[in-house]
């Protein structure tokens, strides 16, 4: 009598619930933060929220598909995924710049930002490579040079847009994944040491980056100039109190801050929903962190462990970067808040990542810590 096939575990419903709540809140807050701006610039109050809702439907569909897919099959598609990502990043450099950056590929009414998908590609490559070469990670070639070299190609293409925030995020996640995989600490510290002067040089080479750094150090020194954006965001966060002014009652969005529905949506949340609303958002991201780490620890193989860690670290560290930027703990940078900021590419890549985590959770080892 043949053995019965192993039944898959159910989805991690706690992780799924946190993702759905953040996605739903994101649609609501995009509408609240963008309606007035959309009416004045586009002549249609629902212009941005309609697009965010459409992307949410597509992204939730993608999440569902990836959640039912055996995540191990992603290894079979690694070469075309990596090649396609590199080609898209290269193609974006030839499109018309927006605000001085070539980050988008425009296909009619649809705009794609390849860097958002490069985050997942980087994590997928690292998880696959470090699993296959796990026994050789004690050497600098396999434990540092090759994995960071392959990821570095994507970082270089993104940096040419120009963009410093996304490559910094991806590099940080790569170091953490290498650490989890068991790479030697001295090689990791060597990589960090080599990256620091590169970041400093990039910060100082571009005048607008120097201005952002000076604004971060002295946010209220030039409140009508370079410090205007950050000062308005900090004032919005502080004015919400415990319970906020009420949904739709933000003053920050009344043309005081350009496009508050994108990278600076967290101050709008704080102003309208107060400290309680901010704590709810932070609690949901903390839930994703805890469940993601638990899924990684219970994954049936090292590939699943590293993939889950990489996706979880990417989402949570990106959220930390955005929130810290919005409240003046880090220099301002164009990094969206996962689930919440307006942007189809960001939402799609985020929910694909959640779908992969759900797929790994369905194959979790019973009784694992």
Q: Are residues 44 and 92 in the same domain?
A: no
Max intra-chain CA distance, the chain: 79
Of 205, 235, 262, the position where a domain reaches its end is 205
Per-residue pLDDT reduced to its tens digit, 237-291: 878 888 888 888 777 767 667 778 888 899 999 999 999 999 999 999 999 999 9
Residue 194 class from Cβ within 10 Å (0-12 exposed, 13-18 middle, 19+ buried)? exposed
Q: Assess if residue 25 is contained within a domain.
A: no
Q: Are residues 150 and 62 in the same domain?
A: no
Q: Assess if residue 22 is contained within a domain.
A: no
Q: Assess if residue 2 is contained within a domain.
A: no
Q: Assess if residue 15 is contained within a domain.
A: no
Q: Are residues 232 and 274 in the same domain?
A: yes
Residue among 57, 111, 21 at smallest CA distance from 338? 21
How many beta carbons lie within 10 A of that of residue 43, not counting itself?
A: 8
Q: Assess if residue 3 is contained within a domain.
A: no
Q: Assess if residue 150 is contained within a domain.
A: yes
Q: Are residues 197 and 305 in the same domain?
A: no
pTM, 2 dp:
0.91
Per-residue pLDDT reduced to its tens digit, 134-192: 878 888 888 899 999 999 999 999 998 888 889 999 999 999 999 999 999 998 999 99
How many beta carbons lie within 10 A of that of residue 229, not counting itself?
A: 19
Q: Are residues 42 and 92 in the same domain?
A: no
**What's the pLDDT score for residue 367?**
44
**What's the pLDDT score for residue 2?**
39
Q: Assess if residue 17 is contained within a domain.
A: no
Q: Assess if residue 321 is contained within a domain.
A: yes
Domain containing residue 50: 31-68+222-364
* Structural domains counted in the chain: 2
């Amino acid at each position: 009598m043949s053995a019965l096939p192993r039944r898959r575990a159910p989805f991690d419903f706690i992780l799924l619930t946190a993702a759905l709540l953040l996605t739903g809140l994101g649609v609501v807050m995009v509408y609240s933060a963008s309606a007035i701006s959309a009416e004045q610039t586009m002549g249609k109050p629902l212009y941005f929220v309609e697009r965010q809702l459409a992307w949410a439907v597509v992204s939730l569909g993608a999440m569902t598909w990836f959640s039912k897919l055996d995540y191990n099959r992603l290894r079979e598609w690694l070469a075309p995924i990596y090649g396609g990502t590199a080609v898209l990043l290269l193609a974006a450099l030839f499109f018309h710049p927006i605000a001085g950056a070539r980050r988008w590929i425009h296909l009619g009414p649809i705009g794609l930002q390849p860097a958002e998908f490069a985050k997942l590609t980087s994590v997928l490559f690292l998880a696959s490579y470090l699993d296959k070469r796990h026994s050789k990670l004690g050497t600098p070639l396999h434990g540092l040079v090759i994995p960071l070299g392959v990821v570095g190609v994507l970082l270089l293409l993104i940096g040419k847009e120009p963009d410093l925030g996304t490559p910094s995020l991806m590099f940080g996640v790569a170091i953490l994944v290498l650490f989890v995989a068991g790479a030697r600490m001295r090689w990791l510290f060597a990589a960090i040491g080599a990256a620091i002067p590169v970041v400093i040089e990039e910060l100082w080479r571009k005048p607008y980056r120097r201005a952002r750094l000076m604004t971060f150090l002295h946010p209220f020194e030039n409140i009508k100039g370079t410090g205007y954006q950050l000062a308005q965001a900090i004032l919005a966060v502080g004015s919400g109190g415990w319970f906020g002014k009420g949904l739709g009652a933000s003053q920050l969005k009344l043309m005081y801050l350009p496009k508050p529905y994108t990278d600076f949506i967290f101050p709008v949340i704080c102003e309208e929903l107060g400290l309680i609303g901010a704590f709810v958002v932070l609690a949901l991201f903390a839930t994703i962190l805890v469940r993601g780490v638990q899924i990684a620890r219970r994954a049936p193989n090292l590939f699943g462990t590293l993939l889950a860690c990489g996706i979880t670290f990417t989402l949570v560290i990106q959220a930390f970067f955005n929130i810290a930027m919005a409240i003046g703990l880090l220099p301002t940078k164009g990094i969206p808040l996962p689930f919440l900021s307006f942007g189809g590419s960001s939402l799609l890549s985020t929910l694909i990542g959640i779908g992969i985590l759900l797929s790994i959770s369905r194959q979790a080892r019973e009784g694992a810590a």
